[in-house]
A and B are shown apart, each in its own frame.
Chain A
């Protein structure tokens, strides 16, 4: 069956009051005296033919009930759907706000850490320069690397500006013969470099005890 939202019908009968043609309908058309002219709603309703007026009234009432019921359901669904959509849109908006706030906070934190690291690196660089000999400082300025002689073995080492793998052992000709992996945790790179220099020049034995040494196959 089809029903139309443009109902209500306008009756031309004598028993049905047109004011009842609202959502408080349905009328239970058992009144044998109801005389509803089919033609008044033929454009809105399916026409039921070959039935008595009473039957027609009942059928129309039934259809009307169904129409009202369906209409209410649709209205309810629309209302629910709109409420759900509003809720989803609000949740989405709040989630986006939270994401933006988190992103901003992360950016601020990164900036703060970068500023702290810059100050730390500068202080470490000053400390390193305060312990370098003039020759070592010149080499550091030129190449960010310098040479150190071990106090025990008198071997020559090269230290460059990295936090790991920056210490190499050289032979008499200045070729790299081994790598020494030893580091100071939790300090800027320049502090780590200064500590390596001080250890090699003052306590080479201890550094060699701690370091992991990698011998290279042939002098480089």
Chain B
């Protein structure tokens, strides 16, 4: 067991010596370039910083390497096993926490969906009931309309019959009056008044039922 690091530390792209030894071309314009002493001082500063950082990285790499050696040291295997067990416990806790969150999310989403489905079915049932009620109402209105229509038809027929009867009566009356008038005129010209006074003929009474007029009238 070597336990090599997965990604070993790499050397910095710029070293302190690179910074110290950097040179720059002279400026061509007299008096317009940078102050060389300031540039060199800054270079030195940067080089010192890089050296310190490099040393820190080296020290930390060494610490990591020491820890890795301890891990692979057979004498430490019991501690390594213990570390593995602790890590497993920690992972189980993390998994449990995430699982609880997912279970809660699942419960909420499932309940929401169930509530929606219940509402949907209820709405569908209510819609079906409303349709049935509307259908019943439509059927009842049709029946009622038919009753009214029948009633209306009866009255229309009765009305028409009455009109016919009245028309016939008035026509008969008119005819009779005309005849009576003619007769009266004729009688007024005749001294024979003892033949009888004028008496209007009997007027047929209107029928009270829907019966054709009696055939012997007129």
B and A form one assembly: no
Tell me the B residues contacting A by CB distance below 8 Å: none
